[in-house]
Amino acid sequence: MIRAETSAKPLVTETATHYKVPFPYCVLRWKGYALSQEICEQKAKGNPAVDYSSRRRFLLSAGAAFVAPAFFDTPLDGQSHGPSDRRPDAILNRLVEGNRHFVAGTLTHSGRSPKDFTALALGQNPVAAVLGCADSRVPPEILFDQGVGDLFIIRVAGNYVSGAGASVKGSLEYAVAELGVTLLLVLGHSQCGAVKAAIQHLHDNDALPGAINDLVNTIKPAVLESKDKPGDGLENAIRANVRRSVERLRTLEPVIAPTVRSGKVRVEGAVYDLASGKVQLMS
């Protein structure tokens, strides 16, 4: 049993994890959910009529959605849960430096064992969210030299957003609203099979079996956008596909777009080269 705190007065005792947050940016984490500002204020007033279990909200207003997670580095247990500098630029620099380690063969997070997960058994505090391809050759934790729990990763063939449905968009919104990540990175890669299939599909004008056809259709706009541009057609389509996803996330309401406009969250795109191991930022 841990008592939640605000700068105003202590809240009632609750079985949950709580953080020291200046009121009114009060955040009470109850059974894995960060309750909304409204519920938190009612809790602070000792209102017993609030039904917390049925109101599974986590910071969906533009104001509360981001400000509260900025304080998550200071839990009541006094332990550190992630870097103290969570500015988007700092996190991006961390990933760039990690990729340099990977390319040079000087990984600092080379091993994985059960003990690496012990400290994260009760919660996570990733530094960034990565939307990457499901391709088995593109493991973000390794190519960015990050440890267990450092990256919140969503992987789907073709690393696309528009047409991917609630599972992809909702996961990225969750990363911002609930986990407090300040960097969203869309990661494409060379020789992407999904983009290759979209190019071939347009060329042959045929139908692919099952849901593969729907998947490829979502990538077609990127292929058409880059079709007549100079250079390698596949590379151009891969970059266009990443760029379209970045643009979609930057304007994705109601969770991500407001934090991007305020500068609290940064959305970037990058392409990983399978042959060299290098990740090239697109901005």
Q: What is the pLDDT of residues 29-87, one digit of tens each?
A: 433 334 444 444 444 555 544 433 333 343 333 333 333 333 333 333 323 345 678 99
Give the mean pLDDT of 7-24: 34
Paired strand residues for 128: 151
Q: Are residues 53 and 117 in the same domain?
A: no
Q: Are residues 63 and 93 in the same domain?
A: no
Out of 36, 71, 106, a domain closes at 71
**What's the number of domains the chain is made of?**
2
User: Is 133 annotated in some ligand binding site?
Assistant: yes
Q: Are residues 216 and 267 in the same domain?
A: yes
Q: Are residues 127 and 217 in the same domain?
A: yes
User: Is 18 annotated in some ligand binding site?
Assistant: no
Has residue 203 been placed in a domain? Answer: yes
User: Is 26 annotated in some ligand binding site?
Assistant: no
Characterize the bridge pairing of strands 151-155 and 128-132. parallel
Q: pTM of this prediction?
A: 0.73
Q: Are residues 189 and 122 in the same domain?
A: yes
Has residue 79 been placed in a domain? Answer: no
Omega of the bond leading into 10 within 30 degrees of 0 (cis): no
Q: Are residues 191 and 226 in the same domain?
A: yes
Q: Write out pLDDT tens, residues 168-211.
A: 999 999 999 999 999 999 999 999 999 999 999 888 988 889 99
Q: Are residues 120 and 238 in the same domain?
A: yes
User: Is 40 annotated in some ligand binding site?
Assistant: no
Contact 169, 250 (CB under 8 A): no
Q: Are residues 6 and 101 in the same domain?
A: no
Q: Are residues 113 and 201 in the same domain?
A: yes
Has residue 82 been placed in a domain? Answer: no
Out of 42, 71, 100, a domain closes at 71
Q: Are residues 269 and 140 in the same domain?
A: yes
Q: Are residues 177 and 101 in the same domain?
A: yes
Give the mean pLDDT of 108-120: 82
Has residue 81 been placed in a domain? Answer: no
Q: Write out pLDDT tens, residues 136-159.
A: 999 999 999 999 999 999 999 999
pLDDT at 106 over 60: yes
Paired strand residues for 45: none
In angstroms, the CA 31 to CA 42 distance is: 17
Has residue 179 been placed in a domain? Answer: yes
Query: Which residues span the domain enclosing 22?
Result: 2-71
Has residue 190 been placed in a domain? Answer: yes
Contact 154, 170 (CB under 8 A): no
Out of 15, 44, 71, a domain closes at 71
